[in-house]
Every structure is written in structure tokens, then in C-alpha cells.
Amino acid sequence: MTESGKYWLCKRAAPAAASMALSLLLLCSALLLLCSATGCEAVFGQADSSSNASTSTVKELGDESLLEDAEPSADSESDDTVTTDVGPDLRSPDELVEDIRESLSETRNKKRPKGRIIRETWQAAQEQYVAAGVLACAELAEHEEATDEQLREAWKSKAVLLYRAAEYGWPEFDDRLHRTVDQIKQTRFIEEAEYADGLLLVHRCFERKMPVHEVVENLTQHAHEFPGGDTCAKLFVAYARKLEERGLKSSAKLCCQAAIWTLHDHPELAAIRQQLSVLNAKANIARNWVAASAAVQLKPDDAIQRELDLQVAQIRGSLPIRVDSATTLTDVSAGSRSINYRYTVTMTAQQMKSQKAIIQQKVTQLARSVSATRIILAKGVSLNYSYHATDGRQLLFFSVTK
């Protein structure tokens, strides 16, 4: 650039620089006057407010929900015409029932789809339907305008949804189902409580590898808790069929026999007798059952003895029955108001001597705790147990009475 050009630029910039310097001087004077009049904290406070306002503006632009959840100002609170309630409207009982039925319909199919991605998508949808249905049930159960029929449907549907989730193996739903059953038992809805308790039994007993006598004991407790209920006989029959499917026909028959002892006055006892008749026919011992069914007006003592003879005949058709790795039930016979069990054990006399007290205590405790044998003992029947070595020598004998 030429010297003349540089001169021209400096000449033009000088007035601008002077003007800028004058402006800065005036601004500093104003700040000094402001500080002297209101204090420096007031100025800094206004700067902070400006910063917060700017930050709030950014957040509002980034998240529209903040506008919906914003606290009302003092002016809006003083205005009676402004509504500040932003909570969801309470759904009507009919709307809740519709949502519950939709959840039940969508979770009815237990078949899981193939393919990991499809299965994960399906499970996520199922979890949403279960959660929505359970929430609707809880809301309906607390609704002030719900009728008794709607309350019944709410409790029963909640148990069904939790049962389906527990059957899928989802965590925590087993405990949630248990807690819900306890809650329903505290209401006035007995039929729904019985149904829910039956679902819990099916989930915890039928599919798990629980000993047969424990399952039968739980079914018996269910029958005693809900005498004459619709599910009592159905559960016994369903479990007997489950055992038959597993190839445990002798256990299935014992289950039916326990049901007969427990539900002797139940209106659905015919279904259990029919199931037992089917099992007997498959084992070629239907003749004894038909003879017992044809008996008319027996004396009480004769009826008990006839029932004992029938049960012994049914058990004998399934012998031998392996109890554990060292014990096998090889023979059973009916005496005068007594049942005699003969076991063969792979033990020496010395081993049996050391285990004698333990065996007798456990067998006695089991016989007196299981409902089926407890009912037999209460009728004056004695249970005799004899244990023999493989060479036929008797190692242990004891009786259990009431």
C-alpha cells in the first residue's frame, strides 16, 4: 500500500476511534452511577437472572414437557379462572374393564415365537400388556363407582395376568401372584380367591419337580380352605392326569385315592372316581373298582374295610415301587382295619440299627401330617411298616396309629 493510502485510512479511522472511546467512557460512568445508587450485588444479581432466563429458554426449546409441568406463576394462581390441575382424568369402570379384557386377549397365547429378535419384540409387547392390565385391575379395584361384578372381574383378571407372567418365567411375578392371592383372600369374593389360589397351586406345584405327597398335601389344604369349591376336584384330576402323562401311574392313582378320602361329600367326586376308573382299567384292575362302586348301603365299619381292601388291591397292581436308592416297597396287604407295608432295603443289620430311630420318626411324622393318611388314622386304621434285608430277614417293624 502507498504512503498516501495509509494516510487516508488513518484519517478516516481516527474519528471512529474517538467516537468509540467516548462511548466506552460514557458506559463506565453509567456503571459507576448504578453501583453507587443500588450496590454492586444488584447488578450481579441481574446478570445471574439474565443467565438463568437464557438457560430456561434453551431447556424449553429442547423439551416441550417442561412447559406442561411448569409451576404456575403467582399471577396465574390468583386468577380463579385458570386451571392448574394437570393430572390424568380418572377412567370410568367400563373403560377399565375394556382395557383389562384387551390385556387378557393379547396375553392368551403362551406359544413363544421363534427367532431371537422376534421373540424379544413379542416379550416386550406381552410385558406391556400385562403391566397395563394389572394397572387397570388395581385402579378398578379401588374405583368408588365399580359394581361388585366389576370388582370380581378385576381381582380375577389380575390373578390371571400375573399367573401368565409367572408362567413365562419373568422375575418377581411369582411373588406378586402370591401377594395378590393373599389380598383376594381378605376380600369378600370367595370364588375369586379360590380360583386365584388354584392358579398359584398349578404354577408352583404342577410344573416343578415337587414330591407327589407334598403336592397332594397342598391340594388337600386347598380343598379344606375352600370346601365344596369348584376347583378342588378339578385340581386333583388335573394333577392325576399330569402324573399319568409322566408315566407315574401308581402316583396318579394314589392322588385320586387321596382325593376320594378328602372330598368324600364333594358334588364333583364322580369326576375323580371316573379318572381313577380309567387308571384302573389301564392297569387291568377295573374289576375291583366296579365291585366297590356297586356296593350298596354297607355298614360304616364294612365300608372302611372295603375301601382299605380296594386301595390295597390298587397299590399291589403297581408293585414294586421304588421309594429311594436303598428302599423299595415290595408288598402291601390289608388286615383287620390295618394296612401292612413291606419294604426291602439294601442295608445291613448294623446300618439299619443306626438308622432305626430316624426312619421311624420320619415315617411316623409323614403319616400323621399328610391329609390322606391322617384321615385313615382318624378312622381307627393302623399302618404297619416292616423293613427287610434282601435275604428276607426282618430288620425293623413299627406301627403308626392316631
3-state secondary structure of 69: coil
87 has a pLDDT exceeding 90: no
Residue 22 placed within a domain: no
Could you tell me if 389 and 395 are in contact, meaning their C-beta atoms sit under 8 angstroms apart? yes
**Distance between CA atoms of residues 219 and 201, nearest Å:** 8
Predicted local confidence at residue 200, as pLDDT: 93
Task: Give the lowest-confidence range in 205-209, 245-249, 347-351.
Answer: 205-209
Query: Could you tell me if 108 and 192 lie in one domain?
Result: yes
Residue 136 placed within a domain: yes
Buried b (16+ CB within 10 A) or exposed e, 349-369: eeebeebeeebbeebbeebee
Predicted local confidence at residue 189, as pLDDT: 94
Q: Which domain holds residue 395?
A: 319-402
**Distance between CA atoms of residues 47 and 285, nearest Å:** 98
| DSSP 8-class letter at 202 | I
Could you tell me if 308 and 351 are in contact, meaning their C-beta atoms sit under 8 angstroms apart? no
Exposed, middle or buried, 160 (CB in 10 Å: 0-12/13-18/19+)?
buried
Query: Could you tell me if 190 and 290 lie in one domain?
Result: no
Residue after which a domain boundary falls, among 208, 243, 261: 208
Predicted local confidence at residue 93, as pLDDT: 94
Residue 291 placed within a domain: yes
Q: Which residues contact 242 (CB under 8 A, 6 or more apart)?
A: 206
Query: Could you tell me if 242 and 203 lie in one domain?
Result: no
Q: What average pLDDT does the chain have?
A: 75
Domain count within the chain:
3
Prediction pTM value = 0.52
Strands of 338-345's sheet, edge to edge? 321-322, 327-335, 338-345, 382-388, 394-400
Query: Could you tell me if 99 and 127 lie in one domain?
Result: yes
**Which H/E stretch holds residue 384?**
strand 382-388
Residue for cell digits 442295608? Answer: 347
Q: Which residues contact 69 (CB under 8 A, 6 or more apart)?
A: 86
Q: What is the 3-state secondary structure (H, E, C) of 78-145?
A: HCCCCCCCCCCCCCCHHHHHHHHHHHHHHCCCCCCCCCHHHHHHHHHHHHHHHHHHHHHHHHHHCCCC
Query: Could you tell me if 204 and 96 lie in one domain?
Result: yes
Residue 126 placed within a domain: yes
Predicted local confidence at residue 101, as pLDDT: 95
Predicted local confidence at residue 285, as pLDDT: 46
Model confidence pLDDT, tens digit, residues 312-327: 887 887 888 888 888 9
Query: Could you tell me if 228 and 190 lie in one domain?
Result: no
3-state secondary structure of 59: helix
Model confidence pLDDT, tens digit, residues 111-126: 778 888 888 898 899 9
Predicted local confidence at residue 150, as pLDDT: 95
Residue 113 placed within a domain: yes
Residue 218 placed within a domain: no
Cα–Cα distance list, 280 to 83, 245, 262, 271, 322 (Å): 74, 15, 20, 14, 20
Pairing relationship of beta strands 338-345 and 321-322 according to DSSP bridges: unpaired
Query: Could you tell me if 180 and 198 lie in one domain?
Result: yes
250 has a pLDDT exceeding 50: yes
**Domain holding 333: CATH number?**
3.30.300.250
| 216 CB neighbour count, 10 Å cutoff | 24
Query: Could you tell me if 292 and 343 lie in one domain?
Result: no
Model confidence pLDDT, tens digit, residues 342-400: 999 998 888 888 888 898 999 998 888 887 788 888 888 889 999 999 888 888 888 89
215 has a pLDDT exceeding 80: yes
Residue for cell digits 399302618? Answer: 383
Exposed, middle or buried, 327 (CB in 10 Å: 0-12/13-18/19+)?
middle
Residue 33 placed within a domain: no
Confidence of residue 311 (pLDDT cuts 50, 70, 90): confident
Share of the chain above pLDDT 70, in %: 71
201 has a pLDDT exceeding 80: yes
**Distance between CA atoms of residues 231 and 195, nearest Å:** 7
- Which three cell numbers, joined as nine digits, stand for 85? 390441575
Residue 230 placed within a domain: yes
Residue after which a domain boundary falls, among 208, 231, 263: 208
